[in-house]
Structure 1
Amino acid sequence: MKIHYLDDDEIALLKQAGKKLAEYQLTVGTAESCTGGRIANMLASEPESSEHFIGGIISYSEEVKKKILGVESQDLEKYGVVSQPIAEQMVYGACQVLKCPCSIATTGYAGPEGGSDENPVGTIWIAVKMKGEIHAKRFLFSGDRQEIIRQASNRALQMFLKILD
Structure 2
Amino acid sequence: MTANGAVLEFEEYVRTRQDALLRSARRLVPDPIDAQDLVQTALVRTYPRWDGIADKALADAYMRRVMINTRTEWWRNRKLEEVPSAELPEATVDDGAEQRADREMLRDAMRVLAPKQRQVVIMRHYGQLTTEETARALGMSTGTVKSTLHRALARLRYELEHGTYGYSRRESVCAA
Q: TM class, shorter-chain normalised?
A: under 0.3
Looking at secondary structure, tell me which structure has more helix per residue: 2
Bigger Rg over Cα: 2
Q: Which has the higher contact order (CA 8 A, sep 6+)?
A: 1
TM-score by length of 1: 0.26
